[in-house]
Chains A and B, each alone.
Chain A
């Protein structure tokens, strides 16, 4: 009886995983296929789509743009997240529940609405579209995630640890770097990785808010109009999938380390 239940679960799991990963597996498969047409049968093995990538200027620019936006968004939203999480968990601000609710709202507003309203705001304010406007849009999406990750990290934080540091002669600045930061570090790393990934992937806001500089997803979308560029895009996709997987695994490793650290801080 019991083994049958496990079997049916295993079948379900396998089907689910195929459904989830088959489309993703198509990317690397055709990125090595020696043909401009994405269709079976496969023609032969080639690395030329990858070498084409290396020669494409537009793509390299877009990649650099995406890294610029992603890294600055990750850092800024994590810093904002630290402040917000600290005040929400530490000072038990009045009506902080309501405040947190408001900050989380961008998570549930459709991105297309958010994109249009930001675009209108910027044009009314006469702000020129650039990587900075994209970053501002991404911050609205990423700060809530940073807060969620960091609030859950700080919730079990023992206030007397910081008091002990003050008592032992450190001021607030050193207390932050010697006590608070090392203890919330796993949360900080998780927030950096998560927000970077969100920004790096994001298409709708970047599409609305980009000026002459495109980010990677916007660039890829523009390339899809040219059929002969498609295999190159597949190669790029394959690279991103591999890198994302590595980043996610890394984040998970850190998070696990963090769980252990959480246990330590309890008596």
Chain B
């Protein structure tokens, strides 16, 4: 069932001395919502423009639906793009914008009109055909750009940060609509974003990029729960990192030693390094628990002092100082009973604990 629709092979793109994409090598599966995620300037747009045909890779090939299209211009590819600024034609009304790509279609006037009406229905702007481009809000322009691309029934739809210009509320609403739309039309989406939350919400799979490299490709849950590198762990969500040395491994349990945490146990099928070598232990803030009464130092727990805290409505963030560590450890607790006001006194002694299956071993360390 998992049929490959895009195959990116050894793609490198240099702009002069800048390497925008460094040896990208992956497949996109038919019908999936695939995201390219990474900080600004990491090469997401460049990779997307290579797929659309606006850039030719320095080396490497692009196959779409089994055909090598590396050198095909944009008008000879079965893909369409939604531009970052939407690129709605200002001299045409909404209907003409949507119909722009249909000049060569064999549809009769009546059929084309019907098709346009269907698209307007699909993007929830029925009756907007006669509106001029400048009478549309940002969200409406974004929908028109979608309809203009989707009416071509592309094999792949490419989207470059299409929600970036919208305010937060509208963006969240459009995320839901976009996901529903993708499931409804069944077209493969390749979606570029620098917003990790957006990528997690929308995607079937995410490729995380950094400085031209594709660091890791996984499902959102895997990226969050089991990142394979420090960069990915740090970029997606918040993460606490601790440097440890591996002391022993047996029966799926690694035992490590850390200056800051003391003795640690980690469940894993295979350790990331050999015994007596260093690794990074990564623990999410919400996987840490705070104990206020029995302040006892044992395995997978450590004593600390309460630093500043922040109340965020549904949850609170606490910052705990450990001996021998400069940055405080970040802990997130659900505000299940009131605002946790009573535990916020700074300087009080607390104990951090976590379970051995809730932490991640990473091979790279700083």
Contacts and interface: CB of A to CB of B under 8 A. Distances in A.
Given A160-B85, A163-B83, A263-B134, A168 B91 contact: no
Contacts of A163: 54, 74, 81, 83, 87
Nearest to A181: B91
Given A169-B101, A169-B104, A267 B132 contact: no
19 contacts: A160-B84, A163-B83, A164-B87, A165-B89, A166-B53, A166-B54, A166-B73, A167-B52, A167-B53, A167-B81, A167-B149, A169-B75, A171-B73, A171-B75, A261-B91, A264-B132, A264-B134, A265-B90, A267-B86
A234 B184 CA distance: 75
Nearest to B80: A167
B47 to A, nearest CB: 16
Given A164-B87, A169-B103, 16 more contacts: A158-B85, A164-B148, A167-B74, A167-B75, A167-B80, A167-B149, A168-B75, A168-B152, A169-B75, A169-B104, A182-B91, A183-B90, A261-B90, A265-B90, A267-B85, A267-B86
Most buried by B among A160, A161, A167, A264: A167
Interface of B: 52-54, 73-75, 80-81, 83-87, 89-91, 100-101, 103-104, 132-134, 138, 141, 148-149, 152, 165
A170 interface: yes
A164 B81 contact: yes
A178 interface: yes
A224 interface: no
A179 interface: yes
Contacts of A166: 53-54, 73-75
Nearest to A168: B101
B165 A267 contact: yes
Contacts of A167: 52-53, 74-75, 80-81, 149
A261 B92 CA distance: 11
Given A160-B83, A168-B148, A169-B104, A179 B74 contact: no
A190 B342 CA distance: 74
B102 to A, nearest CB: 9
B84 to A, nearest CB: 8
A161 B100 CA distance: 12
Contacts of A174: 103
Interface in A98-151: none
Interface string A69-112: 00000000000000000000000000000000000000000000
Interface of A: 158, 160-161, 163-171, 174, 178-179, 182-183, 261, 263-265, 267
A148 B326 CA distance: 61
Given A161-B89, A166-B74, A167-B74, A267 B138 contact: yes
Contacts of B141: 267
A179 B91 CA distance: 8
Contacts of A178: 100
A146 to B, nearest CB: 21
Contacts of A183: 90-91
Nearest to B133: A264
Contacts of A171: 73, 75
Contacts of B165: 267
A179 B89 contact: yes
Contacts of A264: 90-91, 132-134
Nearest to B96: A178
Question: Which 10 pairs between the two chains have the least Cβ-Cβ distance?
Answer: A168-B101, A264-B134, A164-B87, A264-B90, A160-B87, A265-B90, A166-B74, A182-B91, A160-B83, A167-B74
Nearest to B165: A267
A161 B86 CA distance: 9
B62 to A, nearest CB: 15
Contacts of B81: 163-164, 167
Contacts of B53: 166-167
A265 to B, nearest CB: 4
B186 to A, nearest CB: 21
